[in-house]
Amino acid sequence: MTAPERPDDCLFCRIVAGDVPAEIVLAGETTVAFRDLNPQAPTHVLVIPRSHYENAADLASHDSSGLADMFTTAAQVAEREGLTGGYRTVFNTGAGAGQTVFHAHLHVLGGRPLGWPPG
Ligand code: 5GP
Ligand code: ZN
């Protein structure tokens, strides 16, 4: 999958716009959190910026407070989901690291023991 040139082509921009359904967990001013379609843990939520950035580095270099909002939202998701034993936050950057959707997203995983190192 190549990076979309326009948000119209971007799956996660379409979720932000409400054009593609998703199970929303939190909708904030700058971020949206929704359940992953193919969960890898009992809780698997994706936190995304409302604005389109290709990956975390792109987001960080253009909007550092937006990047901070991603982690604040992740903590709110963890609290809401009762992840008192801990949780993992993951940005996959680039196809070689498993990135398949080229709109920055922070995976929030928890609800089971999470091995280290990750696969
Ligand atoms: P990546 O592999 O890019 O780090 O993560 C993309 C994530 O998006 C995957 O975990 C995948 O399951 C999830 N995903 C792909 N398409 C959809 C969709 O249409 N809706 C939702 N909720 N998640 C999706
Ligand atoms: Zn997008």
Give pLDDT tens digits for 65-118: 999 999 999 999 999 999 999 999 999 999 999 999 999 999 999 999 999 998
DSSP 9: G
Ligand 1 centroid – CA 41 distance (Å): 14
44 is catalytic: no
Would the pTM of this model clear 0.85, i.e. be above it? yes
What pLDDT, on the 0 to 100 scale, is given for residue 8? 78
Q: Which ligand is nearest to the CA of 24?
A: 1
Give the residue, by CA position, lying nearest to ligand 1 atom 19. 37
12 lines ligand 1 (CB under 6 A): no
Distance between CA atoms of residues 69 and 66, nearest Å? 5
Domain 11-110 architecture: 2-Layer Sandwich (3.30)
User: Taking the domains of the chain in order of start, what are their residue ranges?
Assistant: 11-110
The pLDDT tens digits for 31-57 are 999 999 999 999 999 999 999 999 999
